[in-house]
Amino acid sequence: MDVLLIRAFALLGLAILVALAARRLRLPYTVGLALAGAALAAFRVNAGLALTHDLIFDVVLPPLLFEAALNLHWSELRRDLAPVVALSTVGVGLGACVVALGMHAWLRWPIESALVFGALIAATDPIAVIALLRESGITGRLRLLIEAESLVNDGAAAVLFTLILAWAAHDPSAAGGPMAAASAIVVIAGGGLLVGFLVGLVAVAVAGTSDDHLVETALTVIAAFGSFLIAEHFHASGVLATVAAGIVMGNLGVLGPKVGSGLGLTARGRTFVLEFWEFAAFLANSLVFLLIGSAMATIDFAREGWRALALAVLLALVGRAVAVYPICLAFSRSRWAVTLNQQHLLWWGGLRGALALALALALPADLPYREDILIVAFAVVAFSVIVQGLTAPLALQWLGLRPTKTAAAKLR
């Protein structure tokens, strides 16, 4: 126990040093963390933790998803719900198909393995995307579109990944046709949303009976992790459950009713809850990007060859483009129109990260090309976090989307 505590505090200290250095060098904090993690692995420093599916899903995702959802205003989300849902569902499907067809045609992967890889790499990662938005100071509708899509499309990706994996394993009970697919969608997506909605309502109702900010904060922790674990227990989407619970608690408890109206949290509770979850998100981000960097340094990328890795990265970018531009074009003559420069940021800012790696790490050992999928997934994530993460601030400036210094300062 003492060794684990020392290592945990050492990792936190390293994250603080990286944060200070990144701000001084004007580099994205997440990129600095990934490079620091790679340096640890290169010098054979044992961090005491390994990047695993369970660590990402059970420890990292709930606080990051809940904190982001807690700050989403339902009125703003409802106004742009149509493009968010279209990007999160149709977009994920289109992106997955482009990647899968490319891997099958040019690398001769079996169609099952190609589709599995396409599904796990199709969704933008909320961890990486939210970190990018925080550091860039993006506000308004553009931030809502990027953040909400990254939160919602993971549920669609999870449904698609589960169905394709079942089909690849030739499991007739899980992938028996259209009815089985529709049933899986209802259970995974609908079940996750229902669990999150109910857990959020119960937590808000109980919080309304207390005037202790610590009790109120503890209830948000129970809602964040409880909704995730309950949904996963019933084979529903824990991601969507935590997002739904966060939106409910945020709009009914933190951002919604006036203090003293009988609903929501106390004034002190609202302030404390937001600050608590901001700190929790900082810890979770620090941990996951350090471990991503550390894991990248141990992957044998040479096994696949640079041509295969470059093709996978290119296909991921093309798949994201196919997911963004046609869908935005469909809304171009409506009130949901997205400007072209914003579409460019939706494309280049659609980062892949820990979620894709978690799904890849959870692949069954007997799946054909499992190791190849894992290596290529790490390559795409490495490019996304380092190259796209480093150039995203430049893209903001080039596209004329960078907020003013005054606006960015207010966010800090």
Q: How far apart are CA 175 and CA 169, in angstroms?
A: 9
Does 51-289+307-411 carry CATH code 1.20.1250.20?
A: no
pTM as predicted: 0.88
Q: How far apart are CA 384 and CA 173, in angstroms?
A: 36
pLDDT digits (tens, 9 = 90+) for 111-156: 999 999 999 998 887 777 777 777 777 778 888 898 889 888 877 7
The pLDDT tens digits along the chain (412 residues) read 566 677 777 878 888 888 888 878 877 888 888 888 888 887 777 766 788 888 888 888 899 889 989 988 888 899 999 999 999 999 999 999 999 999 999 999 999 999 999 999 988 877 777 777 777 777 788 888 988 898 888 777 877 888 888 787 765 555 456 666 677 778 888 999 999 999 999 999 998 888 899 999 999 999 999 999 999 999 888 989 999 999 999 998 887 665 555 557 888 989 999 999 999 988 888 888 888 888 888 888 989 999 999 999 999 999 999 999 999 999 999 999 999 999 999 999 888 888 889 889 989 888 899 999 999 999 999 999 899 988 888 888 888 886 655 444 444 4
What does the domain layout of the chain look like in residue ranges?
51-289+307-411
Structure-token pair, residue 108: 């001769």
3-state secondary structure the chain: CHHHHHHHHHHHHHHHHHHHHHHHHCCCHHHHHHHHHHHHHHCCCCCCCCCCHHHHHHHHHHHHHHHHHHCCCHHHHHHCHHHHHHHHHHHHHHHHHHHHHHHHHHCCCCHHHHHHHHHHHHCCCHHHHHHHHHHHCCCHHHHHHHHHHHHHHHHHHHHHHHHHHHHHCCCCCCCCCHHHHHHHHHHHHHHHHHHHHHHHHHHHHHHCCCCCHHHHHHHHHHHHHHHHHHHHHCCCCHHHHHHHHHHHHHHHHHCCCCCCCCCCCCHHHHHHHHHHHHHHHHHHHHHHHHHHHHHHCCCCHHHCCHHHHHHHHHHHHHHHHHHHHHHHHHCCCCCCCCCHHHHHHHHHCCCCCHHHHHHHHCCCCCCCCHHHHHHHHHHHHHHHHHHHHHHHHHHHHHCCCCCCHHHHHHHC
pLDDT digits (tens, 9 = 90+) for 163-187: 888 787 765 555 456 666 677 778 8
